[in-house]
Amino acid sequence: MSPHLFIVPCSATKARTLPAGPMPAKDAYTGQGFRMLRHRLELDRSPWCILSALYGFIWPDTFIEDYNVKMRKGIAPDSWPACFDHLTPQQRDQLVTAESITILGSKLYADAAAALLKRHVHAPFAGLPIGKLLGAVHRGEWRRPSLLPV
């Protein structure tokens, strides 16, 4: 089994240069929460991927094109068949075999990830308004042992 995996939600705010052509997802998403989480995860060298409203699960180095799609409530896993299409076999295996998965975003993304992966995901920030979520990320609360699954 793989170790713990973190999933970061995409952001509506994207790089101004993205319309000119594809770029790695980690550089394409520029929202404040995304940037804060990316910075923390990279500092810790934690394994992470992104849940995109259009692409589904993607790794930070996956090249994406510009899009304007928002995550919506009540996502039906059967209606999102391409959510794993952008993964290599190793990435797909990491999602499937991770001992635990933590989604670092809203309840909307946590519910979507759990439905798409057909497994429990830990969601320490689900239900928090964006300001409190950003504060918790800034304080490093997402890494407190009490917020990680047992």
Q: What is the pLDDT of residues 86-140, one digit of tens each?
A: 889 999 899 889 999 999 988 889 988 998 888 899 998 888 888 888 888 778 7
CA distance linking residue 77 with residue 114, whole number of Å? 10
More confident site: 45 or 78: 45
Q: Which pLDDT score, from 0 to 100, does residue 132 have?
A: 86
H or E segment and range at residue 48: strand 48-52
Inform me whether the pLDDT recorded for 145 exceeds 60.
Answer: no
Q: How confident is the model at residue 69 (pLDDT cuts 50, 70, 90)?
A: confident
